[in-house]
């Protein structure tokens, strides 16, 4: 007996292909599931059908994931009394214009390209591209500059809101 003695003949292959491609009658799966729900399907047949019931597990997992995303969004929404990033940025802008404008204001002669790449106080949302490192550098610079405690507090509040937002 050679390795190929058990190979299918062309006629057998065609019959197997026709059998494998046979269409399932409309509603067949529903009828089987209804019979299973009524207990009319023997256990030996019902075990493979339980895999289809596993689709319910996927639906439950997806529902829980959506609920978790909604809860996370709800928690991140600003609460009444919380300062928005925009409000905090507008409150600190005059402080930064007074102390940082020579470099961070495109309308001044002393504006530096590298500083403007970080932020330009003349842009509407000048704060929108600040990284965590740049926010920390802003805090660090206010510690060594000649700004008042009240101004330093405005900068610290802006950074806190920006990090949270």
Q: Nearest-CA neighbor of 160 among 88, 78, 104, 100?
A: 88
- The residues spanned by each domain of the chain are 10-76, 85-164
Higher-confidence position of 87 and 63: 87
- Given this model, what pLDDT does residue 58 score? 67
CB-CB contact of 72 with 109 (8 Å): no
- Given this model, what pLDDT does residue 1 score? 45
pLDDT average, residue stretch 15-40: 71
Question: Which tokens hold the place of 130?
Answer: 């600040």
From residue 159, how far is each of 41, 74, 83 by CA, in Å?
A: 65, 22, 12
pLDDT tens-digit series, residues 101-112: 889 999 988 888
pLDDT tens-digit series, residues 123-144: 888 888 889 999 999 999 888 8
Cβ count within 10 A of residue 155:
24
- What is the C-alpha to C-alpha distance for residues 94 and 154, in angstroms, rounded to an integer? 10
Of 28-37, 40-49, 84-93, which range is least confident? 40-49
């Amino acid at each position: 007996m050679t390795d190929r003695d058990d190979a299918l003949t062309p006629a057998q292959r065609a019959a197997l292909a026709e059998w494998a491609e046979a269409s399932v009658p409309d509603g067949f799966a529903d009828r089987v599931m209804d019979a299973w729900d009524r207990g009319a399907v023997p256990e030996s047949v019902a075990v493979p059908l339980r895999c289809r019931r596993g689709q319910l597990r996927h639906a439950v997992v997806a529902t829980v994931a959506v609920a978790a995303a909604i809860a996370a969004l709800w928690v991140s929404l600003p609460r009444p009394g919380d300062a928005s990033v925009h409000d905090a940025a507008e409150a600190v802008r005059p402080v930064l214009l007074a102390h940082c404008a020579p470099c961070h204001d495109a309308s001044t002669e002393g504006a530096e390209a590298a500083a403007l790449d970080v932020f330009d106080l003349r842009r509407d949302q000048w704060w929108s591209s600040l990284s965590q490192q740049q926010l920390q550098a802003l805090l660090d610079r206010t510690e060594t500059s000649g700004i008042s405690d009240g101004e330093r507090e405005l900068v610290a509040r802006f950074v806190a809101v920006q990090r949270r937002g």
